[in-house]
Amino acid sequence: MDELSLRALLERATSPEPPLGQIVSNSLRAGRKLRRRRRATGAALSAAAVVVAGTVPALTSGPGHTSGPGHKVIEPAPVVVPAPPAGAATAYVATSANTVVPISLATNTAGPPIRVPEELPASLDMAAAAPDGRTVYEVGMNPDVGATVTPIDTATKTAGPTITLRHDEPTGIAVAPNGKTAYLSASGGLFRISTATNTASKAPDCGRLGCGGAMAFSPNGKALYVISGGARGAKTVIVMRTVGNTVLASIKIPANSPGIPFNIGITPNGKTAYVVDGNWEAKPGENSVVPIDLATNTALTPIKIMAPGSADGLVIAPDGRTAYVLSSRAVTPIDVATNRAEPTINLPATAGYAYRMAIAPSGKTLYVLTPRGLVPITTSSRTVLPRINVPKLDLFTQLAISPDGRTVYVGARITLTRMHHGHRLSKFVGGVVPISTATNTAGGFINVGGAPVAITFAG
């Protein structure tokens, strides 16, 4: 998570609303600690938060289409939606205790922690699994070394040699559908990692273009879409040919969408990408979503979001008919066929400012995480269901849905108290709470020994 996303989250915590007490104060302290660490590294900050799209389509091009002088096109390919890792049976939770903890999806029990060398609190949301489920890649930040990527063998539950990327600050990771290549976006640009040799090289063209934002692969792995701040603040989406690491096209975000491009998602049919262009403390109509026609690589008319507050979250329904945009207190559905915003789904006023969102693989339920619990939304009727309470949520907790769609895992913490020489001693313990999607009820707290900073699924 980069500075811009952190600021957006903190805005939600500090904007006027009923006080959250220790939740907000702990989050603000965590934010200040994170910023101090980043200043110490001297790393430049990227211009967008990184969220890897879970379902991405193939890049399509019209017959005879060219993307600009000197650029070749990628031939049209059948849309192939990548399946979850084969036999995904384990959740891997990266924690602030420099460990990755495997949790059995069948029993919701934690296995022995896997030690990793990184300072994980600086790498929120950054872990990814190979499509075959054999390897999990965990991203960290060591202020004395730089960005690091540690491969974890899911069969042996052991960490392999760490890949170090100088003093670049990581902002996200994505693994290609064929599993042969991973890309790490960072403050210094885009890095290509060979998963066979665990070696990294810099994508040459992205250094000057500032490719360090949110990214999504085409399913055939031939193209990668990366949000870029660009030269002199120009906002673009870079289309990157993964073979040869060359830029295929540069798509400009319209000037009449004056926000910060936080997120990108692509419809399953491969026709359209959506970029959330958000503003802090926005008034109705000041946030927008920019559709991009992937056949012509052109940005279309921005779609105004009428919900106030920061807008940065984005998920696309598995059937590709609706994109959902998360704002501070609401979710806005976008009709993909017409590129029009539909009526806003308002969240309960008592829930607090929302900051994460995920959709079930069936597409039937949307889950929105707030400081006071998890809010389910039935997508067919746009009905907001009763909030599910989770102990001690804060801004940096995690939300992930298992590939089989049966369980939502939410980062949480509880307070343990004991007496010592007549004094009551208390400490926070980090873990995750499993929530059944069938009943929308929370299960027992699973202790992972530290604050969860990333959750992914593999074998």
CA-CA distances (angstroms) from residue 228 to 48, 100, 183? 8, 30, 15
Instruction: Judge whether residue 385 has pLDDT over 90.
Output: yes
pLDDT band at 275 (very low <50, low <70, confident <90, very high): very high
Quote the pLDDT of residue 394. 60
Query: Which CATH number belongs to the domain containing residue 310 in this structure?
Result: 2.130.10.10
As a whole number of angstroms, the distance between CA 306 and CA 438 comes to 32
Q: What average pLDDT does range 101-112 have in this prediction?
A: 95
- Residue 150 is predicted with a pLDDT of 92
Beta strands in 328-380 (DSSP E): 330-335, 340-341, 345-346, 356-359, 365-370, 373-378
Cβ(459)–Cβ(134) below 8 Å: yes
Question: For 213-272, what is each residue's pLDDT tens digit?
Answer: 888 887 777 888 898 864 445 788 989 888 877 888 889 999 888 788 888 998 988 889
Q: Is the pLDDT of residue 28 over 60?
A: no
Q: Which of 9-13, 19-23, 429-433 has the lowest mean pLDDT?
A: 19-23
Provide the pLDDT for residue 97.
85
Q: Is the model's pLDDT at 301 over the cut of 90? A: yes
User: What is the domain extent for residue 438?
Assistant: 3-458
Mean of per-residue pLDDT scores for the chain: 77
Distance from C-alpha of 227 to C-alpha of 220, rounded to nearest angstrom: 20
What was the pLDDT predicted at 331? 97
pLDDT in tens, 426-444: 667 889 999 999 999 999 9
pLDDT at 47: 27
Lowest mean pLDDT among 108-117, 181-190, 284-293: 181-190
Please give the full DSSP string across 118-173, using - where no structure is assigned.
SBGGG-TT-EEE-TTSSEEEEEEEETTTEEEEEEEETTTTEE-PPEEETTPPEEEE
Percent of the chain at pLDDT > 70 equals: 73
| Number of domains forming the structure of the chain | 1
Give 250's contacts (C-beta < 8 A, 6+ positions apart).
68, 209, 228, 230, 236, 237, 238, 239
Structure tokens that stand for 355 in this block = 């900051």
Pick 164 or 314 by higher pLDDT.
Answer: 314
